[in-house]
Amino acid sequence: MVNSFKTSVIKLRDLDDLYQLAEEEKNNKIQNDILVSVEKLKNEVKKNEIKCFLSNESDTLDCYIEIHAGAGGTESQDWADMLRRMYLKWSDKKNFKSSLISEHKGDEAGIKSSTVKIEGEYVFGWLKSESGIHRLVRISPFDSGARRHTSFASVWIYPVIDENIKIEILEKDLRIDTYRSSGAGGQHVNTTDSAVRITHLPSKIVVQCQNERSQHKNKETCINMLKARLYDFEIKKKEKENENLESTKSDIGWGHQIRSYILQPYRLVKDNRTNFESTNPDKILNGDIDDFLEKSLHQNR
């Protein structure tokens, strides 16, 4: 990182010297080329600055995104699905790899809950501040009276643990249930008890996976997810965070939201922690959330 800074300083000095020379010779073409190079250098410096904020041990890891619809039936379930789409769009823009781990579909539309894995450079570091309650205000497409509705969904981000981090899990602390998968995956998945749910009894943490045809592979994925959840729990204890994550999770509604997405009567997305705002909700919901993520990184630093 220090070398990157030194390299950027040298580049800037060289461009400045070249610009002074081009100005003396009144060479407008070279001056314009230098301005383009300065803009590129500015973007490079910004990327290096962000990496300075991603210096925690776990920031380099991949992550799981767990999304749950709040109270409100179809409206909240549709909102949970919109959030999942937003993060998948963000992942695609970054050229990251995403995969669906589990999904419980809504009764009419959307999802009741879903877990997605995203793999890429510094994914957990980028997304860890997204954990919390997300609020949507809009004219409901499911309301024949075209009334305005407020919906809530929770998002929880956990790091994917690599082999260098040892998390001990005792067999006696686990309750393992198998059930018939209800999601996509072909006829075979839907006719066998291949889906796996594991409950860690001491912590009450529950993980589940249904994306593989093999029950063994689904169990392996569940164990990895459980390690991620337990690691995240321990990290938060070490950081002496006063927030009780599980009690917060139980109340997906007013007073807990970290961000509001307002589509009616005006259009605004506002982060309640950084006070950063955008008046283009469509852009945000299509995955362009970097500005919000960067503001959170700056504040947390």
**pLDDT at site 165:** 72
**pLDDT at site 44:** 75
**pLDDT at site 190:** 45
**pLDDT at site 81:** 97
Which segments in the chain show pLDDT lower than 50? Answer: 184-191, 241-244, 247-248, 250
Cβ density class 173-191: b for 16+ within 10 Å, e for less: eeeeeeeebebebeeebee
Whether the CB-CB separation of 135 and 151 falls below 8 Å is answered with yes
Whether the CB-CB separation of 106 and 74 falls below 8 Å is answered with yes
pLDDT, one tens digit per residue, over 190-246 is 446 788 999 999 988 999 998 888 888 899 899 989 988 888 887 777 665 444 455
149: enclosing H helix or E strand: strand 148-159
Tokens standing for residue 93: 């823009």
**pLDDT at site 241:** 47
**pLDDT at site 9:** 77
Q: Where are the domains of the chain?
A: 2-53, 58-301
**pLDDT at site 187:** 42
3-state class percentages of the chain: helix first, strand second, coil last, to nearest 5: 45, 25, 30
CA distance 135 to 79: 9
CA distance 69 to 271: 19
DSSP state of 57: G
Residue 44, helix vs strand vs coil: helix
Nearest to 206 by CA among 63, 66, 50: 66
Residue 123, helix vs strand vs coil: helix
Select 58-301's CATH number: 3.40.50.970, 3.30.70.1660, 3.20.10.10, 3.40.718.10. Answer: 3.30.70.1660
